[in-house]
Structure 1
Amino acid sequence: MTPEQMRDASLLELFSLEAEAQTQVLNAGLLALERNPTQADQLEACMRAAHSLKGAARIVGVEAGVSVSHVMEDCLVCAQEGRLYLQHEHIDALLQGTDLLMRIATPGSANVGPADIEAYVALMERLLDPSTSSTRVASPAFDVSHLLMTSEPAAPVIDPEPVQRIEPEVISEPARRTPRRTEGGERVLRVTAERLNSLLDLSSKSLVETQRLKPYLAALQRLKRMQSSGLRALDTLSEQLKHAGLGHETQEALADARRIMAESQHLLSEQTAELDEFGWHAGQRAQLLYDTALACRMRPFADVLVGQERMVRDLGRTLGKQIRLEIEGEKTQVDRDVLEKLEAPLTHLLRNAVDHGIESPEQRLLAGKPGEGVIRLHVSHQAGLLVLELSDDGAGVDLERLRQIIVERQLSTAATAAQLSEEELLSFLFLPGFSLRDTVTELSGRGVGLDAVQHMVRLLRGAIVLEQTSGRGSRFHLEVPLTLSVVRSLVVEVADEAYAFPLAHIERMCDLRPEEIVQLEGRQHFWHEGRHVGLVAASQLLQRPPSQSEDETLKVVVIRERDAVYGVAVERFIGERTLVVLPLDPRLGKVQDISAGALLDDGAAVLIVDVEDMLRSVDKLLNTGRLERIDRRNRHTAELARKRILVVDDSLTVRELQRKLLINRGYEVAVAVDGMDGWNVLRAEHFDLLITDIDMPRMDGIELVTLLRRDNRLQSMPVMVVSYKDREEDRRRGLDAGADYYLAKASFHDDALLDAVVELIGGAQS
């Protein structure tokens, strides 16, 4: 490449950057002018943007750009001077010119031919003044000087020297890339994401390393106190030895020891103070370095909004709708990785609001609404999360139509669909391939709907909720992390190792007493916010040794992922921490229940839990029946006593058979002849398990179990039903009453009973 070619390449790149910035100004300004065509500030901004593009295109020799921007400038100047009132067709043409300029300035884009330029210039001239259009149509090889003499507007226009946008040193040194500048004049350099990630990783490690000075300082402080104690001991010894008539040499040796001890203590004090000051400054600098590196990854949310307002406007015009997009919080800072992943879901939600949400002007007027629909996007930070609320004032969701489609597609029976709540009905909209449209159009009915949005939000470890009010509009509420590089977490201890639960998935933390744990269908639950929540041990999920703690109180983390809620029992709460996410070695593949790693302040490693994966593990354990029970009593107490079982059956043979089997296995067994007898025994003595028949005189087994579940003292006791009735409805009656296990006598054998008992309460002794 010749030096001249290199210079031209550099200038064309500058023109491309200039066009990108100025077309954004034009897009925003033209959309504002469409709502209010007489806004002087917007007219001025658009005119200057077009004028600047004309000058920049002239400098680099892009004649097509000169021609297009010139006729756009003419139109805007006429509007400024009051000779033209901007109509929708003018805005359409100006926006078309903006797109054309971007195509001209973008290297490698679709070619723009002379015919395209001629057609556009002719269009603009017709809109301005049809009688003079023939004098302003540029030929493919038009003369720039002629254009300048004949085509400048009559009104004086201040020309802001375009060459000032090209730094002189760039022209003389074409090989060097010129940094872009923001609106505030700050220099902007392009840095790869890998380098930013490396910088953040190094800064986080630097911050961790400074924390390691604290233990050294603490050790030096202890040494200083020990030396002070040593000096006092020497003083005491000196006083005691004075009365013993010490010799001169001994006194001198003792004085030397005291002097050396005092000097070493003084030196230690100085060094400790210096190290303390150094540690403080190092910590401050490391924190500043980390915060700065983190800020480099953050971008304003406005970056993802480029073109969205224009897209809503153009799409609305295509559908014959009048729509305005209002945005709040566009300066909210977000991690660039999150920002990139949000662009596609946000675009889909906006298109969905335009196509499905906002009605036609005629329908809106009939409903007593303004003809123009409004879509509002509110962006904010809340509790360490990025919260997006996208709402419209459209028609909302036709719930009856939705219910009908659910039945037609055999996703539910008519009877079940009729009983579905609004929240349950709306959840069908997030199913893959689900659409409210019967036919495929350019915008709808292609089977790629809200499920794609939900999938991307889940990948970001976030959540999305849809709410609607019939006739008044819909509202999407999205919550995603502000950054994927840093996660606010609760650090816990499991089997003497640290694990972190992201706060975004934590409902609450709590301490559970043994009496608060109940048994339902063989599983442990506790009461949380008006519902029973399943209880699982983190040690089993993470494949770690079970807890050896003798504390009866359980430390529980309540985690939620959409509708799935479980309590995870851990050994200890370490505390809340902000962790820098360190990806696991890709050679490990996907580690079950773990998403990444991190370092604590003391340099210790911690694994970050993949909550969604962990909940899948819980479901798998439940489906296979391998979920382990958590011992609710003090381990030492359990070792001192055998477990007691009450057998309630009106058949002497059955009672004795069960009693002998259980005694031979090491359990302590009591018997009762019917439900009434069993109820009296239960209230008088302590038992670990109740085994009962169903059909008995005075009080049957169903009544007995129902009474037990209503008693605050007894409701957590496991219950097994052993009955001759083997029908599904009989089994369901027993389980619905509160039994944890149902065993049919028809298939009864020794191992079946004993295996069920072990599953419910474990062996005879812990």
Structure 2
Amino acid sequence: MNPEQLRDASMLELFALEADSQAEVLNAGVLALERDPVAADHLEACMRAAHSLKGAARIVGLDGGVRVAHVMEDCLVAAQRGGLLLSAAHIDALLQGTDLLQRIGHPPGGKLDWSETDGREEIDAFVAHMAAVLDDTAAAPVPRVRAPAAGGVQAPAGPVSESDPATTPAILPASVQPRASAHDGAAGADQPEPAGTSAPTAARPHATPRDDAAFSGESDGTQERMLRVNADRLDRVLTMASEAMVETHWLHPFGVALQQTRRQQMRAMQAIDGMQALLSSPEASVARMGAALAEVRRMLGDASDQLSQRADELDQYDHRASRLSRRLYDTALSCRMRPLSDGITGYARMVRDLGRALGKSVHLELSGEHTQVDRDILDQLDAPLAHLLRNAVDHGIESPAVRRAAGKPEEGRISLHARHNAGRLVIEIFDDGAGVDFDALRATIVRRGLAQPDTAARLSQAEMLEFLLLPGFSLRETVSEVSGRGVGLDAVHDMVRGVRGNLRVTQQPGSGMHFHLELPLTLSIVRALLVEVAGEAYAFPLGHVLRAASVRRDDIEQIESQQHFRHDGRPVGLVSAAQLLQRPERAHDDAAMPVVVLGEHDRVYGVAVDRLLGERTLVVQPLAPALGKIKDIAAGSLTDDGTPVLIFDVEDMLRSVEKLVADGRLSRVRQVGPETAQLRRKRVLVVDDSLTVRELERKLLAGRGYDVAVAVDGMDGWNVLRAEQFDLVITDVDMPRMDGIELVGRIRSEPGLQQLPVMIVSYKDREQDRERGLQAGADYYLAKGSFHDAALLDAVQDLIGEARA
């Protein structure tokens, strides 16, 4: 390499990007050629990738890269022309060349001249070996490249027959390592003990963040986070940003119109003052008084019409702005999303190489690789998925001889399927191996003292599979470079739980293991159940909520100094959210109290709250690092109306409950008797998709002393009604998901809600609209066009009386 051609690292960075991109094409294409050596499309794709890398290396001045890419291109062109049928030796050499090109692009320690100094011997050995393979004179084993410092999978020692593809020595990628991860020490395949000998590593072909920092001259702590954004998505964001800017221009003329209305009202007030002066004048006459009164009425009528028009315009603007902001947020959020293929690149190569290192022939089938996943989720999935795949190769797939004896194809198959389901990411990994020997698993459970023999004998298969997720648990008696330490599946389980997901392990009789991972699509937003505790709003992530229920006071039992209620036929402990949060507890003066049921398996508790506020989609905002870890709290957020919300850390909360129970410090949930309940405030539920109208009605009613809850649409209102008790429902008609007429119909068809008063407040003030609402079962119909404070409050008082019973 001519140093003059590389005056800084920028040119090498360009080549590294090119090498990473083309390596993906080469790895996928060469693995496909291993299964079908004459596939013309894959031969063409691989040849073009090698040719592109040769040209890029020549431009940058990397002579070593030119030589490696050139001999690879010779091999592929010969196969294209029919003069060469690719064998296992050719495939191994092509894969090794791909790794070597990436190593040239990401030289160890960031040494720009690595390919001409430390790496020259390695490059010369590869070129010579490739030439020997092409001349069909290769007699020596494939030269091994030096391994990185991290341990990995070591190929079997000793001579192996090259005629059997399943036992051919694996040429494992050694130029790169898996990406850095919080789980590197535990979630990957069990790491070997440090040894003096180097070992090739079956790893994903990605440059490490440390290497990237070396090229850019930045340390790990100061490296700027980069994000690739699809150009079409960026265009949509810019388009919506321009729409938002245009929408803001509407506010100025609207403000001018409001000023005009205000001046009209001032003139009406002046006219009233004049009429009052006229009344005190001795020259007052009925005719003059009538004319003055008519003028005042006209002015007030004009002002009322203008205010109604302004209110309509403001509500329309609210709808437009809300819709635009939601579209803008959704599109901006999609910029964080990446296809799953970005995170699983190289898995097929890893499975193939590891299988060959263990004397097995294994093929990985991928589907759903274009499924969109949040970048942070994708980063955290790297180590767990890699471990599950390595585990399937090592533990699941049998040797070719065993598979032949069992009547199976010699080549084992591992499948990774990804899809979206009900707003969640579902990833399934299964293999066609022998699966777990349950007799051996039961014996291991007993030997490790995890269960008594009689208890272990009664365990079901599903219960025994749960033991595989325990820390330090392994079925292997000896430790190898791949497994035996038992530090893998528990780390996978911890990662899944850490992102509010769940992991299930199953096995069908006579088939391999099946891992089912269900994860959130993104960590940036969360669907949550909002509750009120001690006058403050909190949120339970729905992924941890088993049920939101209303528990009657008579159904609460005292068992072993703790309150319980029945859920799904079994007693569930009742705890107070106020005690967990160390907040003052409000006495529950209703016949029933709202309870959120949390947990899984035997760790199920009911958390009593003051009110259920309904489901919301919240944007997760991390708490300031200076605060440290706050007990029972994971993050914060804001609701649509700007109310701050703390999001519970449910796992932490369950641990807090268990500690209170163990210490005997769990207090009773406060309740009051029926005589005190008579003094309670009456509750009103306001259901309206307009934030303006919703807040106006809430403030009016709260100011009069009513206890007011709000819902953002008919479906949200229906969910709140089924969980809490109210004395009155005020609803709009036109709303998304469920309109007001359907909501009224559901209320009237529900036995426990048939007597609940319902008021409709709508802009539709035609007689047929009024009749339609009353026919649906509404008790009162108020038109927003003639809406004023007194009309609403008078109607509420007519229906349910004063705020306090």
Which TM-score bucket, shorter chain as reference? 0.5 to 0.7
The Cα shift of 1:78 comes to: 1.6
Distance 1:606 1:69, change over 3 A: same
Q: Output one character per residue of 1:109-166: Cα deviation in whole Å (capped at 9) or x when no partner.
A: 5834332222212211222224799xxxxxxxxxxxxxxxxxxxxxxxxxxxxxxxxx
The equivalent of 2:664 in structure 1 is: 625
Aligned Cα root-mean-square deviation (Å): 4.0
CA contact (8 A) 1:581 1:596 kept: yes
The equivalent of 2:124 in structure 1 is: 118
Report the residue type matching 1:48 in the other structure.
R
Q: How does 1:436-451 map to 2 (within 5 A)?
A: 436-451=475-490
Q: 2:511 aligns with which of 460, 464, 472?
A: 472
Q: Output one character per residue of 1:523-549: Cα deviation in whole Å (capped at 9) or x when no partner.
A: 332332343222222222222333333
Distance 1:562 1:468, change over 3 A: same
The Cα shift of 1:447 comes to: 4.0
Residue 460 of structure 1 pairs with residue 499 of structure 2: yes
Residue 579 of structure 1 pairs with residue 618 of structure 2: yes
Paired residue secondary structure (1:352)? helix
Which whole-Å CA distance do the structure 2 matches of 1:182 and 1:413 have between them? 54
Which whole-Å CA distance do the structure 1 matches of 2:542 and 2:677 have between them? 35
The Cα shift of 1:277 comes to: 4.2
The equivalent of 1:709 in structure 2 is: none
CA contact (8 A) 1:395 1:470 kept: no
Report the residue type matching 1:628 in the other structure.
S
Q: How does 1:271-286 map to 2 (within 5 A)?
A: 271-286=310-325
The equivalent of 1:293 in structure 2 is: 332
Distance 1:315 1:65, change over 3 A: same
The equivalent of 1:389 in structure 2 is: 428
The Cα shift of 1:329 comes to: 1.3
Which whole-Å CA distance do the structure 1 matches of 2:628 and 2:601 have between them? 26
Q: 2:541 aligns with which of 477, 492, 502?
A: 502
CA contact (8 A) 2:230 2:335 kept: no
The Cα shift of 1:32 comes to: 1.3
Q: 1:127 aligns with which of 112, 133, 137?
A: 133
The equivalent of 1:357 in structure 2 is: 396
Which whole-Å CA distance do the structure 2 matches of 1:131 and 1:403 have between them? 53
Distance 1:334 1:85, change over 3 A: same
Q: Output one character per residue of 1:706-752: Cα deviation in whole Å (capped at 9) or x when no partner.
A: xxxxxxxxxxxxxxxxxxxxxxxxxxxxxxxxxxxxxxxxxxxxxxx
CA contact (8 A) 1:599 1:606 kept: yes
Paired residue secondary structure (1:451)? helix
Which whole-Å CA distance do the structure 1 matches of 2:229 and 2:31 have between them? 20
Which whole-Å CA distance do the structure 2 matches of 1:122 and 1:629 have between them? 80
The Cα shift of 1:186 comes to: 7.0
Distance 1:188 1:98, change over 3 A: farther
Q: Output one character per residue of 1:404-453: Cα deviation in whole Å (capped at 9) or x when no partner.
A: 22222233333332233323322222222221111121101234221111
Residue 602 of structure 1 pairs with residue 641 of structure 2: yes
Paired residue secondary structure (2:476)? coil
The equivalent of 1:97 in structure 2 is: 97
Distance 1:185 1:504, change over 3 A: closer
Report the residue type matching 2:303 in the other structure.
S
Which whole-Å CA distance do the structure 2 matches of 1:533 and 1:369 have between them? 49
Q: How does 1:73-472 map to 2 (within 5 A)?
A: 73-108=73-108, 111-112=114-115, 113-130=119-136, 246=285, 249-472=288-511
The equivalent of 1:176 in structure 2 is: none
Which whole-Å CA distance do the structure 1 matches of 2:138 and 2:354 have between them? 33
The Cα shift of 1:320 comes to: 0.9
CA contact (8 A) 2:340 2:378 kept: yes
CA contact (8 A) 1:384 1:488 kept: no
Larger Rg computed on CA atoms: 1
The Cα shift of 1:26 comes to: 0.4
Which whole-Å CA distance do the structure 2 matches of 1:592 and 1:9 have between them? 46
Distance 1:99 1:188, change over 3 A: farther
The Cα shift of 1:512 comes to: 2.2
Q: How does 1:507-656 map to 2 (within 5 A)?
A: 507-561=546-600, 563-630=602-669, 634-636=673-675
The Cα shift of 1:258 comes to: 3.4
The Cα shift of 1:315 comes to: 0.2
The Cα shift of 1:276 comes to: 3.7
The Cα shift of 1:44 comes to: 1.1
The equivalent of 1:11 in structure 2 is: 11
The equivalent of 1:56 in structure 2 is: 56
The Cα shift of 1:516 comes to: 3.3
The Cα shift of 1:351 comes to: 0.7
The Cα shift of 1:22 comes to: 0.4
Which whole-Å CA distance do the structure 2 matches of 1:186 and 1:382 have between them? 25
Distance 1:25 1:319, change over 3 A: same
Structure 1 unaligned segments of length 5 or more: list them: 134-179, 190-195, 641-766
TM (norm. structure 2) is 0.64
Paired residue secondary structure (2:412)? strand
The Cα shift of 1:603 comes to: 0.6
Distance 1:256 1:122, change over 3 A: same
The equivalent of 1:70 in structure 2 is: 70
Report the residue type matching 1:340 in the other structure.
D
Which whole-Å CA distance do the structure 2 matches of 1:502 and 1:183 have between them? 28
Which whole-Å CA distance do the structure 2 matches of 1:122 and 1:465 have between them? 49
Distance 1:590 1:130, change over 3 A: closer
Distance 1:293 1:94, change over 3 A: same
Which whole-Å CA distance do the structure 1 matches of 2:493 and 2:572 have between them? 25
Which whole-Å CA distance do the structure 2 matches of 1:32 and 1:544 have between them? 62
The equivalent of 2:34 in structure 1 is: 34
Distance 1:381 1:416, change over 3 A: same
Paired residue secondary structure (1:500)? strand
Q: Output one character per residue of 1:163-222: Cα deviation in whole Å (capped at 9) or x when no partner.
A: xxxxxxxxxxxxxxxxx9999987999xxxxxx9xx9xxx9xx99x99xx9xx99xx9xx
Distance 1:318 1:562, change over 3 A: farther
The equivalent of 1:763 in structure 2 is: none
The Cα shift of 1:81 comes to: 1.8
Distance 1:360 1:84, change over 3 A: same
Distance 1:421 1:591, change over 3 A: same
Most deviating of 350-359 and 115-124:
115-124
Q: Output one character per residue of 1:671-708: Cα deviation in whole Å (capped at 9) or x when no partner.
A: xxxxxxxxxxxxxxxxxxxxxxxxxxxxxxxxxxxxxx
Paired residue secondary structure (2:500)? coil
CA contact (8 A) 1:54 1:66 kept: yes
The Cα shift of 1:353 comes to: 0.7
CA contact (8 A) 2:589 2:671 kept: no
Distance 1:183 1:453, change over 3 A: closer
Distance 1:394 1:590, change over 3 A: same
The Cα shift of 1:496 comes to: 2.3
TM (norm. structure 1) is 0.67
Segments ≥4 residues shifted beyond 4 Å: 2-9, 107-110, 130-133, 180-189, 637-640
Which whole-Å CA distance do the structure 1 matches of 2:677 and 2:307 have between them? 54
The equivalent of 2:177 in structure 1 is: none
CA contact (8 A) 1:328 1:379 kept: yes
Structure 2 unaligned segments of length 5 or more: list them: 140-225, 680-805
The Cα shift of 1:102 comes to: 0.5
The Cα shift of 1:306 comes to: 1.3
Report the residue type matching 2:623 in the other structure.
L
Distance 1:46 1:358, change over 3 A: same
CA contact (8 A) 2:384 2:491 kept: yes
The equivalent of 1:701 in structure 2 is: none
Paired residue secondary structure (1:124)? helix
Paired residue secondary structure (2:621)? coil
